[in-house]
Amino acid sequence: MNRVTDDFAPDLIRVTDLDRKATEARLRLAHTDGSLTLDELDERLANLWLTRTRRDLTDLVRDLPAPQPPPPPPAPPKPDGALMAMRVLTVIWLAVSAVNLVIWLIVSVTSFELAYPWFIWPLVPPGAVLGVLWWSGVGRTRS
């Protein structure tokens, strides 16, 4: 915390390197905006590191326009319900298909012969529907 006595002018307070870096950023922004030429920027940057007080820093940026406030952050994207629904349906389909395939494998192994591949009936038709929905773009973000 900086403590200053009442009889000491605030603009005579010594500056820190952090103050100088903030002023340097403002000078570079002024150059980027076209308020300072490259020669003026070089001259002010050379003088910047020789400054000792707040008054010295103020003199470096006194004639520059006030910096523009940063633009507001973009709105967060809305959640895509269709994409979430497609993912959930796909996970459910995969889980049901995996369970049916495991049951078929257990029946085939325990009976020592390949059972009729009935697992394809709950696997293929819903899988085909999901495939067509994914292929047609359901759940994709629209640009």
pLDDT by position in tens, the chain (length 143)? 556 555 667 888 899 999 999 999 999 999 998 889 999 999 999 999 888 999 999 999 999 988 778 889 998 877 778 888 899 999 999 999 999 999 999 999 999 999 999 989 989 999 999 999 989 988 776 65
With contact defined as beta carbons under 8 Å apart, do 84 and 40 qualify?
Answer: no
Q: What is the pLDDT of residues 84-119, one digit of tens each?
A: 889 999 999 999 999 999 999 999 999 999 999 998
With contact defined as beta carbons under 8 Å apart, do 23 and 61 qualify?
Answer: yes
Shared domain check, 18 and 46: yes
Q: For the chain, what is the domain count?
A: 2
Within-domain flag for 69? no
Within-domain flag for 86? yes
* Residue 127: predicted pLDDT: 93
Within-domain flag for 20? yes
- Cα–Cα distances (Å) from 33 to 55, 71, 115, in that order, read 24, 16, 76
Q: How many C-alpha atoms does 140 have within 13 Å on its Cβ side?
A: 8
Domain residues for the domain of 39 are 10-61
* Residue 78 amino acid letter: K
Q: Provide the 3-class DSSP secondary structure of residue 86.
A: helix
Q: Which two tokens stand for residue 133?
A: 């929905």
The structure's pTM equals 0.46
* Residue 81: predicted pLDDT: 83
Shared domain check, 90 and 50: no
Task: Please state, in angstroms and rounded to a whole number, the distance separating the CA atoms of residues 124 and 130.
Answer: 10
* Residue 12: predicted pLDDT: 85
Within-domain flag for 23? yes
* Residue 143: predicted pLDDT: 54
